[in-house]
Amino acid sequence: MKTLLRILPAIFGSLIAGAAVAQTWTSIDYPGAAATAAFGINDRGDVVGRWDDVDGNVHGFLLRHGQFTSIDVPGGTFTAPRAVNDAGDVAGRWVDADGVPRGFVLRKGVFTSVDYPEAIDTRVRSIDNLGRITGNFTRDDGHEHGFLLDASGFHQIDYPGSESTDAWCINPRGEIVGDWSDANAVFGYVLVNGTFTNVAFPGALDTTIRGINPRGDLVGFDDTADGSGHGLVGSLSSLTSFDFPGEFNTGGFAINAGGDVVGTYDDADGNGHGFVWTRSGRP
């Protein structure tokens, strides 16, 4: 099934190695969907995300070489892939028949559930090329905690003093990004060698960091006082805001090694779409 794409080429003023770089915005819509969101991209350019059908059911998708493949965990009522690594392993969250959110990994056509021990629910956010998984889970006291799952097992992640913590992505250097909240707001963070760095975009009510690539480039989004959301991209010391051209409520969710970004935006009618912002200069 062919992808429905709307491509907006643009030449921006940014320079790489002294040369202007062509950047392309591509809107992604699963055929026949009521809404589409793009959440993950690997270094090959494969994209994963979710699509909502006209009855409100949520399904996953993989977009590879211009072809969509729908993804549904067997027996689930909701499937939302969040990440894809270079081996093609897909990870995300699903909801079982009892209404319980759980994590999953889809590897070579086989689904495996991911459940944090003794948690009441689990959500998987990313999977890297080493198979390391990040996400969050809830204990029976209602508090959410981040986690890392690696070869040695599960490791809980909590921003100091937070009411909730989510671990959204890990890069090859083991740097983890995510968000945390207190009683008043949501903030992003970068976790390097056991040390948290808080991220609060100037003027934003809330900030979340959703992706980090091998170079340490970050992507995420903020919420502002006027009720709109804007994407964020850049380094820890130099984040900048961005929006899908001419549209509303942009959110950045993942960034690959080439700097290409995927995310979501709303059109003037409030319909949700996915996008790829190609910044590497490749097709």
- Could you tell me which CATH number the domain at 4-278 has? 2.120.10.30
pLDDT in tens, 229-241: 999 999 999 999 9
| Confidence class for position 282, pLDDT limits 50, 70, 90 | low
Please tell me the distance from the alpha carbon of residue 22 to that of residue 9, in angstroms, as a whole number.
8
Rounded distance between C-alpha atoms, residue 20 and residue 159, angstroms:
40
Q: Which residues contact 40 (CB under 8 A, 6 or more apart)?
A: 47, 48, 49, 81, 82, 83, 84, 126, 253, 254, 262
Length of the chain in terms of residues written: 283
CA 61/CA 37 separation, integer angstroms? 10
Q: pLDDT tens across 142-192, in order?
A: 999 999 999 999 999 999 999 999 999 999 999 999 999 999 999 999 999
Contacts 24+ apart (CB under 8 A), 117-122: 117/154, 122/93
Residue 203: predicted pLDDT? 96
CA distance 80 to 73: 9
Model confidence over 47-96: pLDDT tens digits?
A: 999 999 999 999 999 999 999 999 999 999 999 999 999 999 999 999 99
Q: Mean of the pLDDT values across residues 270-278?
A: 97
Phi first, then psi: what are they for 231, rounded to 5°?
A: -70, 155
Task: List the domain boundaries for the chain.
Answer: 4-278
CA 212/CA 4 separation, integer angstroms: 27
Residue 1, pLDDT score: 36
Our CA angle for 266, 176, 156, nearest 5°, is 110
User: Chain-wide mean pLDDT for the chain?
Assistant: 93
Exposure class string for 52-63: b at 16+ Cβ within 10 A, else e: beeeeebbbbbb
Which residues, listed in sequence order, are joined to residue 146 by a DSSP beta bridge?
136, 157
pLDDT at 279 > cutoff 80 = yes
pLDDT at residue number 17: 34
Q: What is the per-residue pLDDT for 20? A: 45
The whole-model pTM stands at 0.92
Q: What whole-number percentage of the chain has pLDDT above 70?
A: 92
Q: Which residues pair with 70 in a beta bridge?
A: 61
